[in-house]
Amino acid sequence: MCLKTPLYDVHVAMGAKMAPFGGWDMPIQYTSIVEEHTACRTKAALFDICHMGEFFVSGPNALNDLNKLFTCELSTLAIGRCRYGFLLNEQGGTQDDLITYRLSEEKFMVVVNAGTRENDAKWISARLSPDTKFDEASSQVAKLDLQGPASAEALQPICEYDLQQMKYYTFVETKVLGSRAIVSRTGYTGEYGFEIYIDVEMCKPVWDALLATGVPVPAGLGARDTLRLECGLPLYGHEMNDTMSPVASGLTFAIAKEKENYIGRDVVMKELAEGTPRKLVGLQLTTKQSGRNGQNVLSGDKVVGTVTSGSLAPSLGYAIAFAYVDKDYCEIGTKLAIDNGRKLLEAEVVPTPFYKEGTARRKTTA
C-alpha cells in the first residue's frame, strides 16, 4: 500500500492523476504535463514534495560523522548554506544523492529521496558517534517546491524574510504564513525558485495561500521529470543506483577530490584516475518520439549503451534522453540510435543541459 502526503485529498479533489512513486501515491499531472511544464518555465509552478525525507543530525561530532559518509566537503559549508553530495556504499555504489543544510555549527539537516529514505536512515544512524543525535523527522516536516521566475512574487506576501536577498543554494529559518519554516533557494527544475520546509499541519494552509495568489499553478511529477531532464539533472534510480559510483554520471563536482576517509572513496578515486567503461551522455533525437528507460542504444548493429531517461522536451520541441554509453561512443556529435522495440530512433550525442535558458542562478539584489 502506498503512503499518502498531507495533500493527498487536495490532489484528488483537484482532479489530479495519481500514481505510485517511491512508495507514495503522488500527483502525476493536474491538467497536462506540457501546460504545467510551461507554467514553471514562464511563471511559476507549485509541487507537493512531501514524500522526500528529512533528517536532523546534531552534536559536537556531527560534522566529522557526516563528513565520513558524504562525498562533498562539509567542513567548509557555512551556516545558512546547503550542498549537494552523494552517500556511497563500501563498493562505491551510489546509495543516494542528497542535500545537506548547515543550521548551526553542530546541527545539520539532510534531505534525501523518498525511495531510499528508510535505508538512508538506517545506514547513517548506524555510523554516527554515540553522542551524535539523529532525528528522522520526515513525518513531521512537509515540503513544498515553488519553482519558476515569478516564485518570489507568490511567496513574498506570506514570508517574513526578504527573498530578494537570497543567493543560490542558501537558506533561511524564517516564518511562512506566521509559522516557522526553512526556505531555501534550491530546486529540481533549473528555474529560480524556493523549497519550503514547514510543519505538517501548515502544509495545506501554505499550499492554499500560494495558489490563491494566482501566480503558480499546481504541477505534478510528470512536469517535474521533463523539467529536470531538460536541465540535465539526474534522477536516482535512473541515472544513479547502488551498483555504480557517481563518476560515470559526470557529477564529479559533488566529489571533494582532496577529502579523505569517506566510505567508497577508494573506488571513486580509482575511477577518477582511470575512467569508467561507460559514461552518461545526453542524446538529442530527430523526432518528438523519445526513448525510454532500459532501451538499447546502438551504433550501427552494435549495442553500445542503455537509455536511463527519455522524454519529449516541451521547451525545445524535440525528444531528448540520458543514456550510459560505451566510452568510445561519447564524443559530442556521435550519431547513434535508440531501439524502442518497433523501430530505430536516430539520435546524436549533445552537451547537457539540453535547455540552457533556466533562471535558477539568476542574480538578485544580494
Which CATH code of 3.40.50.2300, 3.30.200.20, 3.20.20.210, 3.30.70.1400 fits the domain covering 54-136? 3.30.70.1400
| Strand blocks (E) in the chain | 3-4, 17-21, 24-29, 45-48, 53-58, 82-88, 94-104, 107-112, 133-136, 141-147, 171-176, 179-184, 193-199, 217-219, 278-285, 296-299, 302-313, 318-326, 335-339, 344-350
Residue 169 CB neighbour total at 10 angstroms: 16
Gap between the Cα atoms of 87 and 69, Å rounded: 6
- Could you tell me which of 222, 224, 191, 234 has the C-alpha nearest to residue 321? 234
> For the domain bounded by 278-350, which CATH number is listed?
2.40.30.110
What does the DSSP 8-state code read for residue 275?
A: -
Task: Quote the cell numbers at residue 189.
Answer: 527544475
Residue 22 and residue 114 in contact, taking contact as beta carbons nearer than 8 Å: yes
Query: Is the alpha carbon torsion for 113, 51, 238, 351 positive or negative?
Result: negative
Q: Mean pLDDT per segment of 10 residues, for the chain of length 366 residues?
A: 95 98 96 98 98 98 98 98 98 97 98 97 98 98 98 98 97 98 98 98 98 97 98 97 95 94 96 97 95 97 98 97 98 98 96 97 77
CA angle 305, 350, 40 (to 5 degrees): 105
Place of cell 546547503: 82
pLDDT of residue 364: 80
Region of 341 please: left (phi>0), alpha (psi -120 to 50) or beta.
left
The distance in angstroms from the start CA to the end CA of the chain is 46
Question: 179 with 200: CB under 8 angstroms?
Answer: no
Task: Name the grid cell of 324.
Answer: 550510459
Residues forming beta bridges with residue 217, ordered by sequence position: 45
**Residue ranges of the domains in the chain?**
3-51+139-230, 54-136, 278-350
What does the angle CA 147 – CA 148 – CA 154 come to, to the nearest 5 degrees? Answer: 80
Q: Does this model's pTM top 0.95?
A: yes
What is the Cα–Cα distance from 158 to 194, expressed in whole angstroms?
13
Q: What is the pLDDT of residue 265?
A: 96
Give the right CATH number for 3-51+139-230 from 3.40.190.10, 3.40.50.300, 3.30.1360.120, 2.30.42.10. Answer: 3.30.1360.120
Nearest to 22 by CA among 57, 42, 48, 56: 48
Residue 222 corresponds to which cell in the numbers above? 510528470
Distance between CA atoms of 334 and 330, rounded to whole angstroms? 7
How far apart CA 86 and CA 242 sit, in angstroms, is 11
Quote the distance between the C-alpha of residue 326 and its chain's center.
25
* Spatial distance between the Cα atoms of 203 and 208, rounded to a whole number of angstroms: 9
